Structure 1
Amino acid sequence: MRKFTLGTSKEQIIYMINERSIKRVLVGDKKIALVRIEDEFFAFQSFCPHRGASLLEGSINSINEIICPLHQYRFELKSGRVSAGSCADLETYPTSLTENGLVITLP
């Protein structure tokens, strides 16, 4: 497991990532997607496991699922589990907001 820290403080990372917007971030050599809902962060693969559509173009619904823009497959942000559609689950990465920034753990 590899840990990466974004930002230098809790306040900085909250300011940098607008709530409910999907951002692409480079963590090590991997491009991932990142979403903030209040003070909770969700990191996940940036493409849909079904057909490879960019989830950066997706949307977040009221029950905290990301919706793929291609076929409207839905994935739970917390677990990555597919909740609507027929494909593999979304790969997710643990996050932890600390006083020193946002820690993202990759396998």
Structure 2
Amino acid sequence: MKEYVLGKTKEEVIKFLPERSIKKIQVGQHQLAGLRVGDQVYVFQAFCPHKGASLLEANINGAGEIICPLHQYRFDLKTGNVKAGYCEDLTVYMTRLDEDGLKITIP
């Protein structure tokens, strides 16, 4: 496992990830997507496992699911489990937001 740090402070991360806005995150060779809801940050693969649509254009519903813009497949933000559609689960990554920035763990 490798841990990457995004930003140097919590405030810097909050500015980079506006509330409920999906942003591209590049860590090492990994192109990921990040989303902040309050103090909780979710980081997940940037492309839908179904047909490879960019999840940077996805929507988030009130149930804590990310909705693919191509076929409206839904994935749980916490677990990556597919909730609607027929494909592999979305890969999600462990994160920790603290005063020193956002820690992202990549297996």
TM-score bracket for the superposition, by shorter chain length: over 0.9
Q: Look up the equivalent residue of 2:21 and give its one-letter code.
A: S
Q: Give the aligned partner of residue 78 of structure 2.
A: 78
Q: Look up the equivalent residue of 2:82 and give its one-letter code.
A: V
**TM-score relative to the length of structure 1:** 0.97
How many positions carry a matched residue from both structures?
Answer: 107
Structure 2 spans left out of the alignment, 5+ residues: none
Q: Look up the equivalent residue of 1:71 and give its one-letter code.
A: H
**TM-score relative to the length of structure 2:** 0.97
Shift in Å, 1:15: 1.9
In the alignment, the residues of structure 1 paired with residue 81 and residue 28 of structure 2 have an alpha-carbon distance, to the nearest angstrom, of 25
**Secondary structure of 2:48 counterpart:** coil
**Secondary structure of 2:5 counterpart:** strand
Answer yes or no: is 1:12 the counterpart of 2:15: no
In the alignment, the residues of structure 2 paired with residue 103 and residue 73 of structure 1 have an alpha-carbon distance, to the nearest angstrom, of 28
Shift in Å, 1:64: 1.2
After TM superposition, the structure 1 = structure 2 runs for residues 1-107 of structure 1, keeping only pairs within 5 Å, are: 1-107=1-107
Q: Look up the equivalent residue of 2:102 and give its one-letter code.
A: L
Cα RMSD for the two superposed structures: 0.6
Q: Look up the equivalent residue of 2:10 and give its one-letter code.
A: K
In the alignment, the residues of structure 2 paired with residue 20 and residue 95 of structure 1 have an alpha-carbon distance, to the nearest angstrom, of 16
Shift in Å, 1:66: 0.5
In the alignment, the residues of structure 1 paired with residue 41 and residue 83 of structure 2 have an alpha-carbon distance, to the nearest angstrom, of 20
Identical amino acids, percent of aligned pairs: 55
Runs of 4+ more than 6 Å apart: none
In the alignment, the residues of structure 1 paired with residue 57 and residue 15 of structure 2 have an alpha-carbon distance, to the nearest angstrom, of 21
